[in-house]
Amino acid sequence: MYPENFYYTKDHEWIRVDGEKGVIGITNYAQKELGDIVYIELPKIGRTLKFHETIGTIESVKAVSDIYSPVSGEIIEINENLKDSPELINNDPHGEGWILVVKIKDKTELKNLMSSLEYEKYLEGIVKK
């Protein structure tokens, strides 16, 4: 369910690292919790992010949720398709529903994040609560 080569945050974002670049999105759990996503407010390309800084807001019919950056870095690309089709996040959260790409500043920050196994265990804990 949760891709092995991704890193995960406790706030349910994922990051897929590709050299200097990191692709960021929200997890399948997060999209399910939010329900039908109807709008996403995206940041501008070129903005520099700190670790855990808010990078945008996702609106579903019922809820609003902030997205936090899993790493520090500079935004180099955003998923333009989400402007007209925010439901891509519901349909394919770990693929076509990616949100943005950052140029990672410090790869050691990735140590703060969870592996897919750790994330799945983390989710089990949430569900039990």
Partner 1 sequence: MKKTRLNRIIKASGAKMVEFAGWEMPVEFSGIIKEHLAVRERVGIFDVSHMGEIKITGSQALEFIQCITSNDASKLSIGKVQYSSLTLPNGCPVDDLLVYKIDDKEFMLVVNAANTDKDSNWIMKNKGKFDVEVRNESDSWNQLAIQGPKSEEILQKIVETDLSKIKYYWFEKTKIFEKDCIISRTGYTGEDGFEVYFKEDVEYAEKIWSLILQNGKEHDIQPCGLGARDTLRLEARMCLYGNDIDETTTLLEADLEWIIKFEKGYFIGKDALLKQKEEGIKRKLVGFEVMDKMIARPHHPVYVDNTQISQVNSGSYAPYLKKNIGLLYLPVKFTQVGTEFEILIRDRKVKAIVVQTPFYKRKK
Binding site for partner 1 (CB under 8 A): 35-36, 38-39, 41, 57, 59, 61-62, 64, 90
Closest approach of partner 1 to the CB of residue 34, in Å: 11
Helices (H), the chain: 28-34, 81-84, 88-91, 116-128
For partner 1, which is the closer residue by CB, 64 or 117?
A: 64
Distances in whole angstroms, Cα of residue 52 to Cα of each of 22, 27, 91: 14, 16, 25
> Whose Cβ is closer to partner 1: residue 39's or residue 95's?
39
Q: State which residue, 20 or 36, has the beta carbon closest to partner 1.
A: 36
Q: State both tokens at 31.
A: 């999209």
Question: Measured from the CB of residue 43, what is the shortest distance to partner 1 in angstroms?
Answer: 14
- CA proximity to 16, closest of 101, 106, 109: 101
